[in-house]
Amino acid sequence: MTLSYRRPVPAAAADALEALYQRILRRDPGEPEFHQAVREVLESLAPVVAARPELADVVDRLAEPERQVLFRVPWQDDSGAVHVNRGFRVEFNGALGPYKGGLRFHPSVNLGIVKFLGFEQIFKNALTGLNIGGGKGGSDFDPRGRSAAEVMRFCQSFMTELYRHLGEHTDVPAGDIGVGVRELGYLFGQYRRVTGRWEAGALTGKGEGWGGSAGRAEATGYGTVLFTRAMLGVRGEDLEGRQVIVSGSGNVAVHAVEKARDLGAHVLTVSDSAGYVVDEKGIDLDLLKQVKLAERGRVADYAERRGASATYVPGGRVWDVPADVALPCATQNELDADAALTLVRNGVMAVAEGANMPTTPEAIHLFQDAGVAFGPGKAANAGGVAVSALEMQQNAARENWTFAQVTAKLAQIMNDIHATVAQTAERYGAPGDYVAGANIAGFERVADAMLAQGLT
């Protein structure tokens, strides 16, 4: 596998990046998601390395995590049986601030997945303009089907090992797939217990009654829709009256549905691992929140209770539903080239990633070739980590901001990210290419900090 470029690039820069990519493939075998994430960034950086040769060595350092923590997590289920899972934390780059990134509890989690997520987080966090570095973590533990007591025991065991690597000035996890307010509560309680400190800034995504921020639950989904609106605005369009399809039905998807609806869009779909729902009347937000966030149910339950307007499709692809806007908000590589072709044939105008790397490289190229506005996750879903950083600010100042204050700041941050990404793409001869703009803008901010701090 080699790097490929969609525009002419200087040969010397291309050769240097290709050599680095081949070293990464040899050094980190069996990590395809990490390779994919690195490849996307490297394919954007040739013009930067050509214009600023002093950054070539920085690229090499940036692709290797500063620290990787792997540990066992023993825990006991309700019947007394003992289980052992693996825990991970990759502290990828701290040049801009404490490592920042979520914890994912899902059977698919392995070191390569965590590295891909942590690598993406470097650039996403840099784009917010806030002082946060990039990291990620999690476990191959599956909380689905487990009792609250079992989840609590797992979280306590997990934090008993991880706590020694965390701190408000060191590494600040948040939630991700499988880790919501409930899990963060158990994790924070154990952190407080073993450290003897009420250090609110050591975790974000907390409940509002104990150090959390208003608007944090909504931030990723809201931010994705706000970025989509900004992309459409450049083209003289908006979300009013547009048909929108959303994949996923977790926290990000639910709040993407909410924000799109608030901006006048007609949201048709949500999905989970078993299938998807098409609701011709538009997704009923209150019912969706009850089924998915309160009851932890399935989208099939939503369809059954919604009535005649909703059709549940077991298996299948949400991307087969014609729409103006598509928001992949589930998981990595869920939107492939075949799905992209279907969306393009059906007239999609914009695609924005609410999840991390949900679109395959081939699908991205198809969207770009068709003139579809495409917002990569490191820009489009940066709202979550941005409000996590705002939560850290509130914790440090012992303040609580209102929902209106937080969402106003979020809107400004997302507009600034869009402007930065668009201007950077223009500056490097790739107008409208949000992938290149996001990769380059994030890289330049981190790289400049790394150069200023010496060889670290």
Confirm whether residue 331 is marked as ligand binding: no
Q: Measured between alpha carbons, how far is 370 from 220 in angstroms, rounded to an integer?
A: 27
On whether 124 is known to bind a ligand per the annotation, the reply is yes
CB 134 within 8 A of CB 101: yes
Task: Report the 10 Å Cβ neighbour count for 240.
Answer: 11
Is 247 labeled as ligand-binding? no
Q: Are strands 275-279 and 266-272 parallel, antiparallel or unpaired?
A: antiparallel
Sign of the alpha-carbon torsion through 354, 356, 358, 361: positive
C-alpha 84/C-alpha 161 separation (Å) is 13
Q: Can you spell out the DSSP letters for 218-243?
A: HHHHHHHHHHHHHHHHHTT--STT-E
Residue 44 known to bind ligand: no
* Residue 388 assigned ligand-binding role: yes
250: alpha, beta or left, given left = phi > 0 and alpha = psi -120 to 50? beta
How many other CB atoms are found less than 10 A from the CB of residue 147?
A: 11
DSSP output for 88-130? EEEEEE-SSSSEEEEEEE-TT--HHHHHHHHHHHHHHHHHTTS
Q: In this structure, are residues 240 and 232 in contact, taking their beta carbons and an 8 Å threshold?
A: no
Question: What is the C-alpha separation between 193 and 329, in angstroms, rounded?
Answer: 35
Total Cβ atoms within 10 A of residue 335: 26
Sign of CA dihedral 188, 191, 194, 200: negative
Q: Which of 136, 206, 259, 378 is catalytic?
A: 136
DSSP one-letter string for 431-454: TT-HHHHHHHHHHHHHHHHHHHT-
Q: Do strands 82-93 and 99-105 pair parallel, antiparallel, or not at all (unpaired)?
A: unpaired
- Is 157 annotated to bind a ligand? Reply is no
Spatial CB neighbours of 237, under 8 Å, sequence gap ≥ 6: 349
Q: How far apart are CA 199 and CA 394, in angstroms?
A: 12
The span from the CA of 408 to the CA of 414, in Å, is 10
| Length in residues, the chain | 456
Which is it for the CA torsion 333, 426, 49, 447, positive or negative?
A: negative
Residue 289 is labelled as binding a ligand: no
The question of whether 289 is a catalytic residue gets the answer no
Assess contact for 274 and 314: CB atoms under 8 A. Answer: yes
Extract the annotated binding site for substrate.
100, 121, 124, 175, 388
Catalytic residues: 136
Extract the annotated binding site for NAD(+).
220, 251
Extract the annotated binding site.
100, 121, 124, 175, 220, 251, 388
